[in-house]
Amino acid sequence: MPITDFLERNAKEYGDEISLIEVNPELIDKNSPAWKEYSLVEAARVHGYRKTVTWKKFDERADLTANLLLKTGVKKGDKVALLLMNCIEWLPVYFGILKAGAVAVPLNYRYTSDEIKYCLELADVSVLVFGYEFVERMDFIQDRLTNIKAFFFVGERCPAYARDYETEIGRSSREAPGVVFSDEDDAAIYYSSGTTGFPKAILHTHASLVSACVTEQAHHGQDRNDVFLCIPPLYHTGAKMHWFGSLISGGKAVLLRGTNPKWILDAVAKERASIVWLLVPWAQDILDAVERGEVELSGYDLSCWRMMHIGAQPVPPTLIRRWKRYFPSHAYDTNYGLSESIGPGSVHLGIENIHKVGAIGKAGHGWKTRIADESGADVARGNVGELAVSGPGVMKCYYKDPEATAAVLKDGWLYTGDMAMEDEDGFIFLVDRKKDVVITGGENIYPVQIEDFLRGFEKIKDVAVIGVPDHRLGEISAAVIELKPGEESSRDEIMQFAADLPRYKRPRMIIFDNVPRNPTGKIEKPALRVKYAGGSVVAQETEAPVKIDSAPPQNY
């Protein structure tokens, strides 16, 4: 059955019940820096702090969106992109795309103008739905997007080149669109990227999406009484596939815009959230705020909260031990997955296995795992190899990239690029990443992009970007910079040059040192990780003096 059937069932059976709640604390917290922005004050006046939609209204708006797309000329299999912050409109637009028989293409809200253009063109997108936060970026490229036949704008002050989404669906038909599609039809493209930094378009079918619903509910047991607090961005497979547990059970979900510890706890208490998915830094922030006395847990009624689970990056066991001191009744789970495996769930710890925190777990519901050597043969337990997974949510392919597809899909197995080992009890532990991606607070940072940019600075001879441990974010990006002979520089000078990069891509630490390369010219990043990422960073003498010029990481 296509995933849209779950929405239609919920609309029929639970039509008047709330399906989604959007909560935006910035609209009432005048201590928030963003409050000073006129657009935010205006949003508070127009939209208010809290919005809701019922299952019936959710399904109706999806039908309106589908009929609008069909009237615009979208055909079955066409690609329609979403570029929206988390909001009450996000999921109805997504399901409207699916109901039109089109392929939904969610875009990362951090993308620059050029990255947006690249991804739209790679996926052959013909229609884009975007929000007011992206007007400046879209202004820069809209006239160069020759394949886009319609822009739909969500928000106030629609730009001249776009059509107002709310106005347009108001003129659309409320009838079910009636497009017929099957489990094996294409449903969505999600973007990922390797160490080259160039995004790959990951194509999934309706069957893949449905499998994520089934796996999520099997792992976390959602029912109609559960309320899921969703904080991460919906463009990411992690957030959406965890929400699929609410979809399949007919449960309520809260879209919280913001990660302030007080906002999270307040949302749990007021909305009676029972399941919360956190990233490592958000859990760290909550615990740190409690321990600093900035948050009094006794001031919140958290009796509804039954489960906290984490994914998207390795989880320090010490974090969960601290968490259980303050929240002893919480069930806990770790989730592992990739966008290529329809997000979290291909491996999971299981709430009964908290004694194994540090492992990512065992094969998830409906999944199989193996750890292979370079020849593809299974390694013995205790030995390190590449983790491979097989199951109902494996991608169909990298869209328009058969070479990259063949490199990771082999004999029904998806090779993850993660090096792992299995202990005597069958639990899988990640050892290292085959790829050089740095994961900061659950967000992938691709070193080659930063390296290429920094090499444009006239004083720099060479540069290598690696991840180093960080208490709050898991790891941060450190740029090891080799200056040209006779040149001198400082962190401030480098960071001033890097100011043209998006904030999240700017290196958090600058290390002045030689950049080692092997005889074939490749940077020896393992040596740099041993030197700088094995614990606290300590200056050492090499062929040239090492200078570490860093500052504490800034919050996003």
Give φ, ψ of 186 to 5 degrees: -65, 140
Q: Are residues 67 and 142 in the same domain?
A: yes
User: Alpha helices, DSSP H only, in 14-76?
Assistant: 38-47, 55-72
Laid out side by side, the sheet with 150-154 consists of 163-164, 150-154, 125-131, 79-83, 103-106, 186-193, 199-205, 397-398
Q: Are residues 179 and 36 in the same domain?
A: yes
Give φ, ψ of 438 to 5 degrees: -100, 125
| Residue with the two structure tokens 């050597």 | 373
Q: Are residues 177 and 249 in the same domain?
A: yes
Q: Are residues 447 and 427 in the same domain?
A: no
Q: Are residues 348 and 424 in the same domain?
A: yes
Q: Which of 258, 286, 314 lies at the terminal end of a domain, its last residue?
A: 258
What is the tally of structural domains in the chain? 3
100: tokens are 């039109």
Secondary structure of residue 442 in the 3-state scheme:
coil
Q: Are residues 383 and 469 in the same domain?
A: no
Q: Are residues 142 and 31 in the same domain?
A: yes
Digits of tens for pLDDT over the chain (556 positions)? 899 999 999 999 999 999 999 999 877 766 655 545 544 445 544 456 889 999 999 999 999 999 999 999 999 999 999 999 999 999 999 999 999 999 999 999 988 899 999 999 999 999 999 999 999 999 999 999 999 999 999 998 999 999 999 999 999 999 999 999 999 999 999 998 544 457 899 999 999 999 999 999 999 999 999 999 999 899 988 889 999 999 999 999 999 998 899 999 999 999 999 999 998 888 888 998 999 899 999 999 999 999 999 886 677 788 899 999 999 999 999 999 999 999 889 999 999 999 998 899 999 999 999 999 989 999 999 998 899 999 999 999 999 999 999 999 999 999 998 888 999 999 999 876 666 778 888 777 878 778 878 988 989 988 999 999 888 888 899 999 999 888 999 999 999 999 999 888 899 999 999 998 764 456 788 889 888 887 433 333 233 445 555 443 332 2
Give φ, ψ of 331 to 5 degrees: -70, 150
For residue 224, being part of any structural domain is answered with yes
Q: Are residues 405 and 445 in the same domain?
A: no
Residue burial 98-130, b: 16+ Cβ < 10 Å; e: rest: bbbbbbbbbbbbebebebbbbbbebbbbbbbbb
Instruction: Report angle CA 203, 208, 211 to the nearest 5 degrees.
Output: 160
- CATH code of the domain in which 364 resides: 2.30.38.10
Range of the domain at 9: 4-258
> 3-class secondary structure for 90-158?
HHHHHHHHHHCCCEEEECCCCCCHHHHHHHHHHCCEEEEEEEHHHHHHHHHHHHHCCCCCEEEEECCCC
Q: Which of 258, 282, 313 lies at the terminal end of a domain, its last residue?
A: 258
Q: Are residues 68 and 190 in the same domain?
A: yes
Q: Are residues 217 and 70 in the same domain?
A: yes
Q: Are residues 155 and 194 in the same domain?
A: yes
| Residue with the two structure tokens 């949302």 | 267
For residue 298, being part of any structural domain is answered with no
Q: Which of 258, 284, 319 lies at the terminal end of a domain, its last residue?
A: 258
For residue 211, being part of any structural domain is answered with yes
Handedness of CA 78, 82, 88, 91 (dihedral sign): positive
pTM over 0.85? The answer is no
- CATH code of the domain in which 216 resides: 3.40.50.12780
Q: Are residues 406 and 471 in the same domain?
A: no
For residue 181, being part of any structural domain is answered with yes
